[in-house]
Structure 1
């Protein structure tokens, strides 16, 4: 597989502007909310910054939502760099592939409630259609190439990276905007609550007393290109184990396959990976499965690893892209790794090299990031420092 360059990237989330400080301190960056679940408060990873506030063109007003405005907020932060890079590329050679799982459903929730109570309320479904995210970003940019949205739950935006790399390798695009956006909504909070998968506190990935996930929101976008860049997307691996609609395969067969395929695509061995960003949701089954898979793939290599979801929450379709941004920053900075949660580790999972000291003691050349979704839709991404 041909590595592709990451010309620029951005990640907006509960981590705030100083991603390194947030991920190397003991500060809880989650927010306590009482408006998402009935008669219950819950900790979530909420973006606290201002949103894109300009009036949208008439043709785009039907898809206006908090989700879309968070996407535009992220895009505006890198748009100058994007424009500079693509100024000599034909617009029909510029593609947009992004992931989401909620789209604009949060904006429709109050209207839907009125509809079910009164029946005479008009509901505009455009803003909650999955495809509107990619089409809206394409329209905002004025590009005319391939544009589509991927929605495979928690692996959505990781698969956007994979699809973008394939487009460039196949010669169907010269640059691809990839990433993911998901915002907080009652639908997902209540859904995970019904599965008894929400944590009653800040989640504890791989923890002895882990009891579920926190939900978060994020927007993370990148420009992939044919050109060499300081950080490269070396390869990706995808798998579909289809074990259960909401539970991972207990032996982590799909997770192992995704990681091995990503390593093969990047043409490196497991010993080359200097840091692994775990999917690490803090549910009992997911963490046990993932660590089992890590043992099978990495063996005695003692790879440094951590989950960052105790700081960001699980950002659903945007999770993979946000964690890709964390990996991107690690490779650019070369001075830190994200700390794993500081609580007691499950005795059955304690044999791993969890990051307890964020300071670097050697250069980081390659990192891997895992995302494993409902239905066994898995993706692993490998990023590396350019050798040129």
Structure 2
């Protein structure tokens, strides 16, 4: 499955160029104290997108006017040309939509409930369908005027990574000829209060794999690809999904299995399908949330599989953990890595005091990069309930077929 054009918006920026430049520079400019009120009134740092960077959607139906859909629309603007090309080539009914999300329009539901407590009635602008998990897929289909199969996947933090796998299955089944696929999630009080109640949030900027790590920063963002069986621009170097694996360890509702058995199964399956040895992986985008248990599990799992020598980074200190959008956003950073010709990699941001009690990994610091252009990247997504997904993205030279 070819991943043709990329549209992305997150705390790192609103264009692929801006996101990539800030990712390799290790910029944390988008990480800021949330203005959303928490139950315990404590401040939290989040990865936030500036409101003025998002379209208003004033011309869309009222039920589509949510922040989640505004984020999606901002990302889709960057791939609109490929979408229109696919419509002309295949027909609107042969283009599907698959979205990973976990918040959908819950923020608008929160605002409606606040209005209700004050006025004893829901606001006229509120429609319950705004916060349904299928809402982003319905919006994208209407916004892009496509009529193929559409649905959302909501399995917490691996939602949009699984969406990429599902897009490939739709293409392989010949139900569609193209898929608008990715993920989107927006900040809301429910999410922030929920993770705060789990005692999983960081007191400052998160520091994955640091001895001082104490939790996550939540973020918002959107990342979407136009996926096809054949490359839309075969004369250009192409990025494709060469391997994918998913597994459930069913260990605990919120805590990872300590030895990462499910994670190892997913990564092994992805490598096997891609026909790659661990040594072939140039870069790993770590799940790397910054929680004590998750980072220890991931380091152990990668070491057991012989991947500890591949250069790796967690980009969540720059974007926040974008939950349902994280899998697609981090696959997007791998896509950008494969497109870069200079060996630069997304930076790993932390204080530099790696936790000596967990297995050592080869983190990307300011001095580290590749001596060659990356050809294979691994992206890990591990979620509540033991939902583990691993993706291998690879690069073909111009005119080459998928291998």
TM-score class normalised by the smaller sequence: over 0.9
2:362 maps to which residue? Answer: 353
2:43 maps to which residue? Answer: 41
Residue 358 of structure 1: how far off its partner (Å): 4.6
SS at match of 1:222: strand
SS at match of 1:215: coil
1:105 maps to which residue? Answer: 106
Residue 26 of structure 1: how far off its partner (Å): 4.6
Within-5 A mapping of 1:55-70:
55-57=58-60, 60-70=61-71
Residue 85 of structure 1: how far off its partner (Å): 3.7
Q: What per-residue deviation string (whole Å, max 9, x for no partner) do you get for residues 127-158 of structure 1?
A: 00000110111112221111000000100100
Contact 1:34 1:40 in 2 (8 A): no
Q: What per-residue deviation string (whole Å, max 9, x for no partner) do you get for residues 77-133 of structure 1?
A: 220232124421022211000110000111121221343566443663110000011
**Higher deviation after alignment, 205-214 or 72-81:** 72-81
1:260 maps to which residue? Answer: 268
Q: Determine whether 1:273 maps to 2:276.
A: no
Residue 350 of structure 1: how far off its partner (Å): 5.6
**Higher deviation after alignment, 82-91 or 303-312:** 82-91
Residue 340 of structure 1: how far off its partner (Å): 1.2
Q: Determine whether 1:79 maps to 2:80.
A: yes
How far, CA to CA, are the matches of 2:26 and 2:132 in structure 1? 38
Change (3 A) 1:21 1:253: same
2:195 maps to which residue? Answer: 192
2:314 maps to which residue? Answer: 307
Gaps of 5+ in 1: none
Q: What per-residue deviation string (whole Å, max 9, x for no partner) do you get for residues 163-186 of structure 1?
A: 001111121211111000000100
Residue 73 of structure 1: how far off its partner (Å): 1.6
How far, CA to CA, are the matches of 1:264 and 1:86 in structure 2? 34
Q: What per-residue deviation string (whole Å, max 9, x for no partner) do you get for residues 42-80 of structure 1?
A: 1110012521224234xx322321111111121122202
SS at match of 1:380: strand
Contact 1:100 1:181 in 2 (8 A): yes
**Higher deviation after alignment, 248-257 or 47-56:** 47-56
How far, CA to CA, are the matches of 2:360 and 2:372 in structure 1? 22
How far, CA to CA, are the matches of 1:153 and 1:297 in structure 2? 25
Within-5 A mapping of 1:8-157:
8-16=5-13, 17=15, 18-29=18-29, 30-38=31-39, 39-48=41-50, 49-57=52-60, 60-116=61-117, 119-121=120-122, 124-157=127-160
**Higher deviation after alignment, 261-270 or 187-196:** 261-270
Contact 2:179 2:228 in 1 (8 A): yes
- What is the TM-score normalised by the length of structure 1? 0.94
How far, CA to CA, are the matches of 1:200 and 1:226 in structure 2? 45
SS at match of 2:336: helix
2:327 maps to which residue? Answer: 320
Q: What per-residue deviation string (whole Å, max 9, x for no partner) do you get for residues 256-313 of structure 1?
A: 01101111121222221111100000000000001111011125x6111110000000
Contact 1:274 1:367 in 2 (8 A): yes
How far, CA to CA, are the matches of 2:97 and 2:127 in structure 1? 24
1:334 maps to which residue? Answer: 341
SS at match of 2:46: strand
How far, CA to CA, are the matches of 2:90 and 2:80 in structure 1? 15
The number of residues matched between the two structures is: 382
How far, CA to CA, are the matches of 1:247 and 1:339 in structure 2? 27
Q: 2:227 aligns with which of 199, 224, 227?
A: 224
Contact 2:6 2:78 in 1 (8 A): no
1:246 maps to which residue? Answer: 254
Q: 1:284 aligns with which of 270, 292, 302?
A: 292
CA RMSD of aligned residues (A): 1.7
Contact 1:106 1:185 in 2 (8 A): yes
SS at match of 2:346: coil
Q: What per-residue deviation string (whole Å, max 9, x for no partner) do you get for residues 193-247 of structure 1?
A: 0001110111000110100000000011101001135111112111111111110
Gaps of 5+ in 2: none
Within-5 A mapping of 1:179-218:
179-218=182-221
Residue 22 of structure 1: how far off its partner (Å): 1.6
Contact 2:86 2:95 in 1 (8 A): no
